[in-house]
Amino acid sequence: MKEINILVLADHAEILETILRLIGNHDNWKGFGAGSAEQAFAAMEKNKFDLVLLGVGVDEETGRQIMEHCRAADPKIGCIRHYGGGSGLLYSEIRHALQTG
Amino acid sequence: MKNSIMHQSASRFSADHGWLKSAQTFSFHGNYDPDRIQFGALRVLNDDTVNGGKGFGRHPHDNMEIISIPLEGTLEHQDSMGNIAVIRPGEIQAMSAGTGIYHTEFNKNENEPVTFLQIWLYPDKLNVAPRYDQQSYSDGDRHNRFLQILSPDSDDEGVWINQNAWFHLGDFDGGAVTDYNLKVAGNGLYVFVISGDVEVNGQLLNTRDGYGIWPESPVSFRAVSDASLLIMEVPEKW
C-alpha cells in the first residue's frame, strides 16, 4: 500500500504533536510537522507530500499562500484546512481529501 | 442543491467503546461516508451515552464551536482555561476552541449514565481567543414553543458562538403546531427529534431522526405525539 505523506502546519506545539501522533497511528500515513509557514515551505522543498493540512494558527493569507504554493508545485497535492485539533474530524478530513482530490 | 435531507435514527454511525456509546449523524473519528460529512456549518451531531464515572480524558480542540446539551445525567467539564463546571439537563454549554484548548468531560455520577448531544459547528472566524459559556433554562420556557438557547449575539438569548447559527429547543404536546422563520434567508434548518414524533413540512420524523432543510418559507411543525425537538439554523457557507 502506498505511503501517504502528510504535512501539518500548526503553531500550537501540543496540538501539532497530537495530530502527528494520530496520523502516525494510521497504517500507511506518515505525518510531518511544521510550526511556521517558513518551516512548511522548507519542508515542501525537501519532500514530496500528498496532502497538506493547515491547522491552528494559520491565518487566511498564509493559508492562501501555501495553497497556491502546493498548486504550483503539483496540482495533485491536496491542501485543506484542518479543524478541531486532531480528535474527531482528522481521519475523515484526510480520507475525504484523498478521495475527492 | 437538494432542498432537504433525511437522516433516520438507524442510519447514524454507531461506535461502542464499552464506556461510551455514540450515535453519530455525520462522519466522525473512524466512521466516514462522503455523503455524510456536514449540513452547512453543522459538522458534528453526536448522541453520546457515557457510563457512570467514565469520560473523555484530556484532549485538545481548536477552531471549532463545540456545544454540549445534556439530556440525562450530569456531565463534568474541566478545561485549560481553568473552568470547572457541571452541566445537567436544562443547561447548555458552548466552547469556542479557537487558538487551542484542552479539556476533559466526565460523567459526574458514578452510578448513572449521562446522555448528551455533542454538536460541533465550523467557526466563522479562525484562531479566536478560546472561551467557555454555560447557561440554564427552565422546562416551562419551551412548552409548546421554541426557546432560543444559542445565537451569534452575546446580547441575545442563550449562549453565543462564532457562527451565524441559532439553536432552539421545544417540548410540544401531541397535536401542537408551530412555525419557525429563519433568522437569515438562505440559511438551512436541521431538526433533531430528541423524543416523540413530529411532522416537519409534512415529513414525518421519529425519535432521534434528523432532517435538514433549506427552506424558502416558514417551516411548519406538527407534533404527532408529545415531542421534544432541537432545531439548528446554520449557514450553508460562511
Q: Between chains, do A56 and B100 touch, taking CB under 8 Å as contact? A: yes
Contact A89 B126 (CB under 8 A): no
B7's CB contacts (< 8 A; 6+ apart) are: B25, B36, B209, B210, B211, B212
B129: nearest CA partner in chain A: A57
Supply the Cα-derived Rg of chain B in whole angstroms.
17
- Rounded to whole angstroms, the maximal C-alpha distance in chain B is 47
ipTM for the predicted complex comes to: 0.92
State the Cα–Cα distance between residues B127 and A26, nearest whole angstrom.
Answer: 27
CA distance A53 to B129: 21
Classified by CATH at the fold level, domain B139-234 comes out as Jelly Rolls (2.60.120)
Q: CA-to-CA distance for B160 and B153, rounded, in angstroms?
A: 6
| C-beta atoms of A84 and B59 within 8 A | no
Of B32, B62, B127, the CB nearest to A92: B32
| DSSP run (H or E) holding A83 | none
d(CA B35, CA B199): 24
**Yes or no: domain B12-136 corresponds to CATH 2.60.120.10:** yes
- Which residues of chain A neighbour B105 with C-beta distances below 8 Å? none
At B2 the pLDDT is 65
Cell of B20: 461510551
Verify whether the Cβ–Cβ distance B32 to A95 is below 8 Å.
Answer: yes
Q: Is B29 annotated as a binding residue?
A: no
Q: Kindly report, as residue ranges, where domains of CATH 2.60.120.10 are found in chain B.
A: 12-136, 139-234
A18: which 3 cell numbers? Answer: 497530537
Contacts A–B by Cβ distance under 8 A:
76
DSSP A88: T
Q: Is the pTM of this model over 0.90?
A: yes
Strand partners, B204: B199
- For A76, the 3-state DSSP assignment is coil
Q: What is the pLDDT of residue A4?
A: 96
Q: Do B64 and A85 touch (CB under 8 A)?
A: yes
- Which residues between 17 and 76 in chain B have a beta carbon less than 8 angstroms from any beta carbon of chain A? 27-32, 34, 37, 43-44, 59-64
- For the stretch B90-142, pLDDT in tens is 999 999 999 999 999 999 999 999 999 999 999 999 999 999 999 999 878 99
Q: Which domain holds residue A65?
A: 4-100
Tens digits of residue pLDDT in A27-68? 999 999 999 999 999 999 999 999 999 999 999 999 999 999
Instruction: Give me the tens of pLDDT residue by residue for chain B, a chain 238 residues long.
Output: 569 999 999 999 999 999 999 999 999 998 999 999 999 999 999 999 999 999 999 999 999 999 999 999 999 999 999 999 999 999 999 999 999 999 999 999 999 999 999 999 999 999 999 999 999 998 789 999 999 999 999 999 999 999 999 999 999 999 999 999 999 999 999 999 999 999 999 999 999 999 999 998 999 999 999 999 999 999 999 9
Mark B153-171 as b/e (b = at least 16 C-beta within 10 Å).
eeeebbbbbbbbbbbbbbb
Domains in chain A, number: 1
Please report, for the domain that includes residue A49, its CATH number. Answer: 3.40.50.2300
Q: Which residue in B28, B29, B62 is closest to A56 by CB distance? A: B62
The predicted structure's pLDDT at residue B175: 98
